[in-house]
Amino acid sequence: MKDEEDDITNAEGQEDDHTFDENQNEGKSFEGQHFYDNEDEDSQDTITKVTGMYKDWFLDYASYVILERAVPAIEDGFKPVQRRIMHSLKELDDGRYNKVANVVGHTMQYHPHGDQSIGDAMVQIGQKELLIDCQGNWGNILTGDGAAASRYIEARLSKFALEVLYSPKITDWGVSYDGRRAEPNNLPVKFPLLLAQGAEGIAVGLSTKVLPHNFNELIDSSIKILKGKPFTLYPDFMTAGIADVSNYNDGMRGGRVRVRAKISQIDKNTLAITQIPFSTNTSSLIDSILKANDKGKIKIKKIEDNTAADVEILIHLFPGVSPDKTIDALFAFTACETSVAPLGCVIEDNKPLFIGVSEMLKISTDRTVSLLKSELEIQLAELEEQWHFASLERIFIEKKVYRLIEEETTKEGVYLAVDEGLKPHIKHLKREVTQDDITRLLEIRIMRISRFDSNKAQDKIEALEGDIEQVKYDLEHLVDFAIAYFTRLKEKYGKGRERQTELRIFDDIEATKVVLRNTKLYVNREEGFVGTSLKKDEYVTDCSDIDDVIVFMRDGKMMITKVDAKTFVGKDIIHVAIFDKSDKRTIYNMIYRDGKSGPSYIKRFNVSGVTRDKAYDLTNETAGSQVLYFSCNPNGEAEVITILLRQVGSVKKLKFDIDFANLAIKGRASKGNLVTKYPIKKIELKEKGISTLLPRKIWYDDTVQRLNVDARGELLGEFRPNDKILVVSQSGKLKVITPELSTHFDEDMVVLEKWIPKKPISAIYFDGEKERYYIKRFLAETENKEESFITENPNSQLEIVSTDYRPVAELVFTKIKGVQKENMVVDIESFIAVKGFKALGNQLTTDKLKQVNLLDSLPYEAPEEVIPEDLQVQTEMDVDDSDIQLDDDGQITLTLE
């Protein structure tokens, strides 16, 4: 049978060894589904069913993989191969670097598997930059590049590892697999190492995935545990990035962490990825972006990978492609956003234990306290032993007990003489004098006795007594000692280990809203087909392969279906469009005839809560019904139409107008309101309507840096279709844009508000070329274009900006030659008039300024916003079908109580 060649490497660099004892199958063979024991041919064959073999052998193998290979121990946070590597590094430690190949070879004395698994596991430990001081090419977790061969790279223990991992006197020792050497069952780790490094492994029947956490936060949380204070732990990744830990679930099964790359916009055609999500690297990330581009989910021009010590991936966009939408699409369709499912599983008492990270930290903290106590107890015993012998040595020399052995000729006599000579002087000792003590006294050299200094001996004893008291004090105040220990670790090793992953709540990105419209939708109205392959028929709109299509037919049927090459929906199509299930503002206005010769009804409705590929009847479900008029209104517009009736019987009024604004918006299943019982000859559009919906309130949520209509964050105002928002950044740039919910905002944004065109903007800035401070007031003149309102010099800098009508600024001058000029208050409205956007402005002062402060603005009563029409939407309960009817002139009237 093969040995190491058949090993399978698992997720942590360990291999699943499928080798068995070569002797266990001697004399045995498989036949059919039975196992025959042929060791004794004369004896009657014994039969063991395969199920029995599976139960015994497989469970043994599963237990071995779980306990000895894939899952870390709760005591020290190591898997066996990792523990053996760290033990070997300690044995080889002489302060210098060792070849990794040498360490691997040394570890094989303890590890019963191949060198490949040891080398891989060691590289993974080294890449976490905590326990191993690495030299050479150890690979790159950012790019996914592997380490150089083990013969080319070197390693030694870090100072941190030497301090927290080893303490031979309190180590639990066992025997190596071949019985030749001693190895630690668990290392006495005095730090929550498992949570700092994280762990991942796949065993037989279970797995583990403990995410890494921040070094300093772990220490702070351990101190809080010792002080009895509450704490919360969240993961922190070496790849940095942004994480949403709202569903972390304490790192237990069922939790989930969403991680995103950090993407910024350099200019309108370039995006930059500077941090990547955990569990990815630049190579896999770029591959996912290219695949999404090939599938038409996103549209990019090219990608540049400039990653070296830091991540820098530049994504170049085609002209006209929205950077904001592309960022959302990168999160939706590529590895720029991934989801990590933690699973806290460890080994405790040779059994798998599923616990959360908070409980792991409590166990680790309690164990650290226990280890510190054991070390103190050993130190106390050693100090007391030193004090005991130092006291004996002083008595032995000062009282000249050594002279009593001069007349003795036997060993027993010598021991007895010393024992008798010590007895009068040892009442203050803390234990009895043993034969070993006397042996040590007799081994003292004559030269040492002759140079004995009584004062130095007394100083040594007093120093030992001071150390003993200190250790006793530490044992009595063990919690305080442990807190001081953790604090010292943080002060000594915590610098440079600050949190790298930014924690933020993510907004949910709807794929249908950000996917690239990579194909075109066509319709054959007469035959009733819609699809992307009907290129000879009528073009409808651009679409993507994940969009839904809404279709209305002349007979009053409606259907929503997935975009496909060719789909039959129903003949005589009157309207087809891309369907957005979250759109509540698109309103459909419709007039239909009930049956072949029945009355006509009018209705306004929106569409939501539908089942795909199900036909819905928007009429009264009478056979022969027909839609006479239909319009789709994206912002709830209500037009005025003219009804022309046929000349039938005694009809007096053959022509009248209807304003859809007088109708309530109801559900799609409503019957509608009666228009006329007479046949309609023609319906004409008389006047295009305005929106009958209330202005939409928009909020800005600083947590996710997005606009929303869900009342999260700061209210920006009520927006009508033509309203815009004003955005000003600290870099001195300004833009007026349409308030789209998908818009991304830069981190240096200082102003975000509803744009009032006639409201002036005031700014004080430093001109880098003239090295002077300028003040200006201007109006934003251009929409949907980002422009700079300060000079283009690299040293130019915006000091303050205000959109108040009467802002006030305070100038704090620099102290020159010991003279401090008084602060100056500037009424900006009085100081300068409103000028053009590109104007340089007026020079503010020639003196050097220390800082510029924005004070409370002067009172001003802003002009009321002129609203052409204040129309309010009636709810579904405002008007019922009997509330609307024709008057004598054929006009619709409302009869509301």
| 47-104 pLDDT, tens digit each | 666 666 666 787 788 888 888 889 999 999 999 999 999 999 999 999 999 999 999 9
For residue 231, pLDDT over 70 is answered with yes
pLDDT of residue 798: 93
Spell out the SS3 assignment of 287-319: HHHHHHHHCCCCCCCEEEECCCCCCCEEEECCC
Q: Are 811 and 844 in contact (CB under 8 A)?
A: yes
**What whole-number distance in Å separates Cα of residue 874 and Cα of residue 619?**
21
Query: For residue 550, what pLDDT band results from cuts at 50, 70 and 90?
Result: very high
pLDDT of residue 188: 96
Cα dihedral 537/538/540/546 (nearest 10): -10
Surface-to-core class of residue 52, CB atoms within 10 Å of its CB (0-12 exposed, 13-18 middle, 19+ buried):
exposed
For residue 889, pLDDT over 50 is answered with no
Query: For residue 11, what pLDDT band results from cuts at 50, 70 and 90?
Result: very low
500 to each of 216, 239, 306, 310, 690, how far by Cα in Å? 12, 8, 21, 13, 51
pLDDT of residue 27: 35
pLDDT of residue 324: 85
For residue 885, pLDDT over 70 is answered with no
pLDDT of residue 745: 87
For residue 349, pLDDT over 50 is answered with yes
Name residue 359's amino acid. E
**Residue closest to 628 by CA, chosen among 587, 684, 577:** 684
How many degrees, rounded to 5, is the angle at CA 518 between CA 517 and CA 522? 80
For residue 819, pLDDT over 70 is answered with yes
592-643: pLDDT as tens digits: 999 999 999 999 999 988 899 999 999 999 999 999 999 999 888 899 999 9
Tokens of 153: 């790279």
Average of per-residue pLDDT across 574-603: 92
Tokens of 450: 């002759």
pLDDT of residue 167: 95
Catalytic residues: 152
Average of per-residue pLDDT across 40-49: 56
pLDDT of residue 118: 94
Q: Share the mean pLDDT of the chain.
A: 87
Work out the angle between the directed axes of helices 357-398 and 411-422 (0-180°, nearest 10). Answer: 100
Query: For residue 15, what pLDDT band results from cuts at 50, 70 and 90?
Result: very low
**What whole-number distance in Å separates Cα of residue 781 and Cα of residue 787?**
10
Average of per-residue pLDDT across 352-374: 96
Q: Are 120 and 13 in contact (CB under 8 A)?
A: yes
873-883: pLDDT as tens digits: 333 333 333 33
pLDDT of residue 46: 65
**What whole-number distance in Å separates Cα of residue 823 and Cα of residue 314?**
46
154-184: pLDDT as tens digits: 999 999 999 999 999 999 999 999 999 999 9
Average of per-residue pLDDT across 579-600: 91
For CA atoms 471, 472, 477, 479, the dihedral sign is positive
For the ranges 252-266, 684-698, 788-802, the lowest mean pLDDT is seen at 684-698
238-289: pLDDT as tens digits: 999 999 999 999 999 999 999 999 999 888 889 999 999 999 999 999 999 9
Name residue 469's amino acid. E
